[in-house]
């Protein structure tokens, strides 16, 4: 089951997504989390907390969940 994450800006960062999904409790934990766990963005491992996630991106955080990003389709 894939959960939808909605946002109103052009993009959100991977660090913001981790916080929005309660995977981490603070933004400062993002770098540590990404160094210790594999996170897949559109099927590829990505460890950049500043990675820009846009409309229709899919993020898979093993043992946490799969998320489809739903934002402005025209890039705001």
Q: Is residue 64 part of a domain?
A: yes
pLDDT computed for residue 28 by the predictor: 92
What phi, psi does 64 have (nearest 5°)?
Answer: -120, -55
User: What is the average pLDDT across 33-60?
Assistant: 98
pLDDT computed for residue 73 by the predictor: 74
Q: Is residue 49 part of a domain?
A: yes
Q: Is residue 76 part of a domain?
A: no
**What percentage of the chain carries pLDDT values higher than 90?**
91
Q: What is the pTM of this model?
A: 0.91
User: Contact at 8 Å (CB) between 35 and 47?
Assistant: yes
Residues 6+ apart with CB under 8 A from 1: 66
Q: Which domain holds residue 13?
A: 2-70
- Of 35, 2, 33, 38, the closest CA to residue 16 belongs to 33
User: Contact at 8 Å (CB) between 10 and 30?
Assistant: no
The helix or strand, by DSSP H or E, that contains position 16, with its residue range, turns out to be: helix 14-20
**CATH code, domain with 7:** 3.10.290.10
Domains: count for the chain: 1
Is the pLDDT confidence value at 74 over 80?
A: no
Is the pLDDT confidence value at 5 over 70?
A: yes
């Amino acid at each position: 089951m894939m959960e939808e994450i909605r946002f109103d800006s052009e993009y959100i960062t991977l660090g913001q997504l981790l916080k929005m999904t309660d995977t981490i409790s603070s933004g400062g934990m993002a770098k540590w989390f990404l160094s210790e766990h594999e996170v897949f963005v559109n099927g590829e491992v990505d460890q950049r907390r500043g990675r820009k996630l846009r409309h229709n991106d899919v993020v898979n955080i093993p043992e946490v969940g799969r998320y489809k990003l739903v934002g402005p389709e025209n890039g705001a």
